[in-house]
Structure 1
Amino acid sequence: MKHTHQRDVLPRTPEDPSSPLSPGTHTITVPHGSARVALRYHVAGSGPVCLAHPGGPGIGWEYLRMAGLEDALTMVYVEPVGTGDSGRLPDPRDYTMATYAHFLHAVVQHLEVPRVTLLGHSHGGFVAQRYALDHPARIAALVLYDTSPVADEEFWSAAVDAMERFMKDHVDEHPEVADYVSALTSRLDLMNDDGATAVLRTTMPAYLYDYWGREAEFAPARRTLRMYAAPSRGEDSPFDVRDELPSLAPPALVLAGRHDFICGPRWAALLHEGAEDTEVTIVEKAGHLAHLEQPAQFDASVLAFLGAHGVVGDVR
């Protein structure tokens, strides 16, 4: 497989304020059916272009900020449709994988670079897989971060089981975790944005390896998490690309936290086994948010992978 060289993905000079890659917040308008919907994205850093798609569906993009990668990459943080100041779909049933891939493609085309690195976290990793399968020529490399090639009944049952174990392990010291299983299985599609946000903030400690040991560090981030309810109303079949993984063309780094209760090593192994050109990094002492818990190791793993595939220069 031929790999992209740095010249393929360098952005235009950031000093040009008209560039779609100038630092700051940008808004584009994307056709969707008979509607035109606003979509925002945020640019920071310099170097080859890396799009980052957050999880959820419906989680605000801010938690995914990766300052360490911005030293070597132009990070483009997508604010997915239905979240933040991006637009809402006229029919909430349309929040599907095809829709997210459609809006992501609009951003890739707007950036006017031949190929990009695509980093998808959790549900954003589902979107990244779908997009890379549909548009392999636009992707120099993939970072599939705490995600899975499938989110079927077995996947969700395993997540509930893991949350129950987390509850049993911590309920004596932290009685509030007794409500975590009911929060995880609550109907977000019946809530408003404040209700969805409350669920996310309530359960955040379960997404980290040692929240209470580093509470002073993580509590401010917990208070700023946002989740938007409309994307939970999408009507889509369960995500499953396992049969398509052998045709996944771009090289992929599969990265997962050792203690991620929802998208941990079990699901990383499925990605690695199913796709041909992958490597796996398991981050110790991390849950679902390794870029916050172990940022130095996270950044080094991503940049070493991109360096090995010619996307960035020598990062040693």
Structure 2
Amino acid sequence: MAVPHGSTLIEQRYHVAGTGPVCVAHPGGPGIGWDYLRMPLLERHLTMVYIEPVGTGASGRLPDPRAYNLATYTHFLHAVVQHMAVPGVSLLGHSHGGFIAQRYALDHPEHVASLVLYDTSPVTGEDFWSAAVANMERFARLHATDHPEAATYAAGLTTPLGRLTDDEATAVLRSISPAYFFDYWGREKEFGPARRELRMYAAPSLGEDTPFDVREELSRVTAPTLVVVGEADFICGPRWARMMHQAIPEAHLVVLDRTGHLGHVEQPEEFAAAVVDFLAMPHGSAE
């Protein structure tokens, strides 16, 4: 579908799979391809609509890379929701996609029947990133003996991707991705395909935006909300999940044990059960 953005029409792609009430899923990033977020177990219960964000994959590119910001992503998400013409959707946002989901639920509450905030945070900024780097450094020390390459992960996390090609940015993401799992090397045969599926597009990292912070607004969220977090997520872990849980009226919190930033890959049955059970509640119905 073509979406107006300023004076330009930009192609916005999305992918539909499954059957049941509609759940729109926004991947993380900015700039990560949608494929890693595929959730086959949820597709048994829900019509999953996976957003392919502008600047990635087959979606269009913005003329000015500085425009890859929260307002732009929210604008394109709204266009997809309107295009589907469903009275109310479940909205699932992972990581950076969770920032977009929070913003969308605040700005367009009439379109959101329920909200799933998955490994995300209500705030970024200096404290958020300092904590992420410190956790990454802790991960490197823990695995230094068997995997000395982990010593480079903190530097990879802070690499300015906008200076790289898409292939180079993808290589950086894949190189540090073991830290996104609780036990990548112990289950490498299982998680290797997911790692190879990760794809990063460099231009969205050039977007100009203020640090994300909706902490003072979350009390206005009207959609029934589920917060899901991996207990070992180094970047959007339980500290940030509890902030959302406490701020959003009557939100539910699920902490997945022995799980990092990719619970739908690491603990797919537990993750899917948490989402499906929540949406089956009368207050969480997507219908």
TM-score by length of 2: 0.98
Aligned partner of residue 241 in structure 2, secondary structure:
helix
- Distance across 2 between alignment mates of 1:137 and 1:156: 33
Match of 1:134 in 2: 107
Q: How far did residue 176 of structure 1 move?
A: 1.1
Q: Is the 8 A contact 1:249 1:277 kept in 2?
A: no
1:226-305 to structure 2, matched below 5 A, reads 226-305=199-278
Match of 1:63 in 2: 36
- Root-mean-square deviation (Å): 0.9
Match of 1:120 in 2: 93
Aligned partner of residue 42 in structure 1, secondary structure:
strand
Aligned partner of residue 285 in structure 1, secondary structure:
coil
Bigger radius of gyration, 1 or 2?
A: 1
1:1-316 to structure 2, matched below 5 A, reads 28-308=1-281, 309-311=283-285
In the TM superposition, what whole-angstrom CA distance separates every residue of 1:90-143 from its partner, at most 9, and x where no partner exists? 000000100000000000000011110000000000000000000001000000
- Distance across 1 between alignment mates of 2:232 and 2:36: 19
Q: How far did residue 310 of structure 1 move?
A: 5.0
In the TM superposition, what whole-angstrom CA distance separates every residue of 1:212-240 from its partner, at most 9, and x where no partner exists? 01000111221221000111000000000
Q: What amino acid is aligned across from residue 289 of structure 1 in structure 2? A: L
Q: What amino acid is aligned across from residue 66 of structure 1 in structure 2? A: M
- Distance across 2 between alignment mates of 1:247 and 1:103: 22
- Distance across 1 between alignment mates of 2:245 and 2:2: 36
- Distance across 1 between alignment mates of 2:250 and 2:28: 24
In the TM superposition, what whole-angstrom CA distance separates every residue of 1:176-196 from its partner, at most 9, and x where no partner exists? 111101101111121121111
- Distance across 2 between alignment mates of 1:75 and 1:209: 26
Which runs of 5 or more residues in structure 1 are unaligned?
A: 1-27
- Distance across 2 between alignment mates of 1:310 and 1:162: 34
Q: Is the 8 A contact 1:72 1:312 kept in 2?
A: no
Which runs of 5 or more residues in structure 2 are unaligned?
A: none
Q: What amino acid is aligned across from residue 91 of structure 1 in structure 2? A: D
Q: Is the 8 A contact 1:258 1:265 kept in 2?
A: yes
In the TM superposition, what whole-angstrom CA distance separates every residue of 1:260-315 from its partner, at most 9, and x where no partner exists? 000010000110111113110000010000000000100000011101125269xx
Q: How far did residue 52 of structure 1 move?
A: 0.3
Q: What amino acid is aligned across from residue 130 of structure 1 in structure 2? A: R
Q: What amino acid is aligned across from residue 288 of structure 1 in structure 2? A: H
Deviating 4+ runs (over 6 angstroms):
none
Matched positions, count: 286
Q: How far did residue 49 of structure 1 move?
A: 0.2
Q: Is the 8 A contact 2:230 2:262 kept in 1?
A: yes
In the TM superposition, what whole-angstrom CA distance separates every residue of 1:32-83 from its partner, at most 9, and x where no partner exists? 0011000100000000000000000000000000000001100000000000
- Distance across 1 between alignment mates of 2:183 and 2:77: 33
- Distance across 2 between alignment mates of 1:221 and 1:54: 14
Q: Percent identity?
A: 64
* 1:243–1:67 distance in 2 versus 1, CA, 3 Å: same
- Distance across 1 between alignment mates of 2:284 and 2:228: 19
Aligned partner of residue 31 in structure 1, secondary structure:
strand
TM-score by length of 1: 0.89
